[in-house]
Amino acid sequence: MLRNWKPRQDWKIAFAVTAALRLLYSAFAAGAAVFVHPSASLIQSNVFTENLPAHAGWHYALLGIWARFDTLWYLHIACHGYDLPAEVVFYPLYPFLTRGLSILIGPMAAALLISTVAAFFYFLGLIRLVRHEFPDQPPLRTVTLAAMWPATFFLFAGYTESLALALIVWCVAAAREERWVVAAACAFAGGLTRSAGTLTIVPLAIIAWKTWRAGRERYPAMCPVLVAPLGTLGYWFWLHQTGRPSVVTAYRTYWSTELASPWTTLSLAIHSLARHFDPQLATSLLALIVFFVAGVAARRRMRIEDRCFSAAVIAQILLRVCLPLLLGTPRYLLPVYPAFITMGNWAERMEGKRFAFLCGALFALNLVWMWAFLSWRAFLAII
């Protein structure tokens, strides 16, 4: 068990961060509802926009304004199932949970509630991982950086980010504490949430190998390793059995996204940026560099499973080529929890004023991108 673990304090930190961000983002969205009235030309690319709620009233300000982009797809799946071939790229656990809860409170409220609860467990799990890595270091700055990072408003939108992140960090934390059943359950559910969830097999395999090397019983440790890919593989098998297109085919056919080698994607991005400066592309490349350094190369004593998982997530991002290039990278990097742990360790050496300025700048950028998201400006909203 962990040294110096203070569960009550950790719950309070996670709850305070989650509640504060939920209130801030909800208030910001409600305020934006007064001013944001996107034209049809900005939203016509989404097949579900003809059923958007009216831009008026408290219901729209609190809930309806969050009905943007991928959220509409998840809500449609929750209500109607996979009745369109393009929907198969959206994994089933989040819309399934939304469907179950929507019986009580409605689909949009259910989606936001699930995201908010999952965000709490993500922050709590991240604190637990900080306790593993630095038992004597307060986790507050790590959690604060993770909360302020641009694109974390997606944790409180109708997206799968917070659910996937919660399952990933608790899977790793449970494996380190040799709670193999919990680790296996989180890995399985993570694979049903989004493709990054399947990558938990990387740290799980390394932790299992360490357990075997340490002379402890190895068969329980192999359980989560074997179970980790079954969520994703089971979903793919269901798609095949029901005659639906594969995820790869759907991305290529309906989402203009192709598979490519990571170095091909990087080469295309660098050449594109050299020909014409693109703020979105430059931001994505900078985010990749920061997360590679912090998540893979920074600390000598970083656990090997953390390095490998970070590299796997970054490689997965670079395996996809779409236009614009590297679109959504800051959001797709959120699962790289080792980077936040490293940056939190760096932040412990900063003066209070500098740290507050850094967090303020990150959060301001977060709100700028959130405004773009609410305004249906996809290229600005790094979606």
- 18-45: per-residue pLDDT in tens? 999 999 999 999 999 888 876 666 665 5
Tokens of residue 341, six digits: 């742990």
What whole-number percentage of the chain has pLDDT above 70?
A: 90
d(CA 154, CA 78): 19
Q: Are 189 and 167 in contact (CB under 8 A)?
A: yes
Q: Say which residues have a Cβ less than 8 Å from residue 379's Cβ, sequence separation at least 6.
A: 280, 324, 327
In this model, does residue 264 exceed pLDDT 80? yes
**Token couple for 311:** 């590299």
Q: Say whether pLDDT at 61 is over 50.
A: yes
- For residue 259, list its beta bridge partners: 320
Q: How many C-beta atoms surround the C-beta of residue 259 within 10 A? A: 12
Nearest of 313, 376, 371 to residue 340 by alpha carbon: 313
Q: Does the pLDDT at position 380 exceed 80? A: no
pLDDT, mean of residues 171-186: 93
Q: Which residues pair with 321 in a beta bridge?
A: 258
pLDDT at res. 4: 47
What's the whole-model pTM score?
Answer: 0.93
Nearest to 309 by CA among 165, 159, 180: 165
Query: Which pLDDT score, from 0 to 100, does residue 41 have?
Result: 62
In this structure, are residues 224 and 184 in contact, taking their beta carbons and an 8 Å threshold?
yes
Is residue 234 within a helix (H) or strand (E), and if so which, with residue range?
helix 230-241
Q: What is the pLDDT of residue 50?
A: 58
Q: Show the CA angle centred on residue 370, arms to residues 199 and 159, nearest 5°.
A: 35
Q: Where are the alpha helices (DSSP H) in 83-139?
A: 93-105, 107-133
